[in-house]
Amino acid sequence: MPQDYSYFPGCSLRGTGVAYDESVRALFALLDLKLHELPDWNCCGATSYMSIDEGSAFVLSARNLSLAGQAKHGDLVTPCSACFLVLKKTQDYVEHYPAIATKVQQGLQAEGLPPLNGVRVRHPLEILYNDVGLDRIKQASVRPWRGAPLACYYGCQLVRPYCDSDEQQTPTHMEEVLKAAGIPTVEYALKTKCCGGSLTGTIPAVGQRLNYIILKEAIRKGAGAIVTVCPLCQYNLDAYQADIRKSTGEAIDIPVLYFSQVLGWAMGADPKALGMQRSIAGKKTIKQWFAASEREEKAHV
């Protein structure tokens, strides 16, 4: 019996984070978890909207929650950390601030939508950890890892302030899940530090310095790649490496992947189905992994 979830991809997974969408769908299918994309979903109300017009942002966000309540496919899964945070924040604020609750209620009524019913908002990593469990991940992982150990990078929005089952400052679910899949990881002290967020667009010098700190420390720790849970983190760390090489003169070139890509790979999925060809940095490293595995798999046959 497959487990059912409502699925909210959010805008990033239709743009810069297509590989995240592809890999989460592939990974969930491998684990017999069924994702039902929310019909007619809209903007989650994330950072930029929230900073300019909080009231409308809550209403937008609540519309998605209301749709999920109506859809009755169970918990609402969203891979994007920003979507996860905003949807959680909307539930929290509606519960605790009557003025916001009223505004949201009016917005939903105008749309003819039912009030919020407390649908549970969840991240795929937490689902892997709690619903699937480390044992099943271990069983499902068929492809041995031949690359260097990985640096698990969580960023901020997934763990702060709405952290359901992991530690806010020193989360470990990603490491545990990768370890179960036979993938080694490095001790990585910067795992919840700032990736630069939208500063890469607004004050690039500051944003890129923050990217640089994270990349450099991962390389120093001997990581073969950085693994992320957030499309903005992934984009920031992946897309600016050429600029950083230019500004620092340092040979920085490291793949930045989604945890779902790495796990999907371990569970035997085709790299194309996981969107791994879409990475910008560290192409050479990724190609070497493919080649090594292919050789091995052919030898087996």
Partner 1 sequence: MSEEIRTGVYTCHCGSNIAATVDVKAVAEYAAKLPNVVVSRDYKYMCSDPGQDLIKQDIREHKLNRIVVASCSPHLHEHTFRTALAKGGLNEFFFQMVNIREQDSWVHADKPAATAKAIDLIRAAVCRVALQKPLTKGSIPIHPSVLVVGGGIAGIHAALTLANAGKKVYLVEREPTIGGHMAKFDKTFPTLDCAACILTPKMSSVRAHPNITLWSYSEVTQVDGYVGNFKVTVTRKPRYIMEDLCAGCLECIEACVYKDGKFVDDFNMGLSKRKPIYIPFPQAIPQVPVIDPETCIDFKTGKCKKSCVEACGERHAINLKMKETTEIIDVGTIILSTGFQVFDAHRSPEFGYGIYPNVYTALEIERLVNASGPTSGEVVLRDGKRPKSVAIIHCVGSRDEKTNRWCSRVCCMYSLKLAHLLKEHTDAEIFNFYIDIRTPGKGFEEFYQKLRNEGVHFIRGKVAEVTDWAFDPSEEGKLVIRVEDTLLGFARRIPVDMVVLATGLEPHADAQEVRRRFNLTCSSEGFFLERHPKLAPVSTFTDGVFLAGACQSPKDIPDTVAQAGAAAAEALALIDAGHVEIEPNTAFVLEEDCSGCRTCIPMCPFSAITFSEETKLASINQALCKGCGTCVASCPSGSIVQNLYDDEEIFAEIEGVLSNA
Query: Taking CB under 8 A as the rule, does residue 32 contact partner 1?
Result: no
Say which amino acid occupies 289.
W
The 10 Å CB-count burial string (b at 16+, else e) for 176-189 is bbbbbbebebbebe
Query: Cβ 19 to partner 1, closest distance in Å?
Result: 28
Per CB under 8 A, the list member of 52, 110, 169, 300 interacting with partner 1 is: 169
Per CB under 8 A, the list member of 142, 189, 242, 291 interacting with partner 1 is: 189
Query: Cβ 261 to partner 1, closest distance in Å?
Result: 25
Q: H helices of the chain, where? A: 18-30, 47-52, 54-71, 81-96, 98-110, 124-127, 134-140, 173-180, 199-202, 204-220, 231-239, 241-248, 259-266, 283-300
- By rule CB under 8 A, what count of residues binds partner 1? 9
Query: Cβ 277 to partner 1, closest distance in Å?
Result: 32
- Cis upstream peptide for 149 (omega within 30°): no
Query: Cβ 170 to partner 1, closest distance in Å?
Result: 4
Question: What's the order of all strands across the beta sheet hosting 256-258?
Answer: 150-152, 225-228, 256-258
121: helix, coil or strand?
A: strand
Query: Cβ 254 to partner 1, closest distance in Å?
Result: 16
Per CB under 8 A, the list member of 102, 106, 170, 277 interacting with partner 1 is: 170
Say which amino acid occupies 258.
Y
Cβ proximity to partner 1: between 220 and 283 the closer is 220
Query: Taking CB under 8 A as the rule, does residue 291 contact partner 1?
Result: no
Q: 20 and 133 in contact (C-beta within 8 Å)?
A: no
Q: x/- site string to partner 1, residues 219 to 248, per CB under 8 A?
A: -x----------------------------
Q: How far apart are CA 240 and CA 222, in angstroms?
A: 20
Within residues 195-224, the interface with partner 1 by CB under 8 A covers 213, 216-217, 220
Cβ proximity to partner 1: between 189 and 203 the closer is 189
Say which amino acid occupies 153.
Y
Query: Taking CB under 8 A as the rule, does residue 190 contact partner 1?
Result: yes
Q: How far apart are CA 258 and CA 227, in angstroms?
A: 5
Query: Cβ 220 to partner 1, closest distance in Å?
Result: 7
Instruction: Give residues in contact with partner 1 (CB under 8 A).
Output: 167, 169-170, 189-190, 213, 216-217, 220
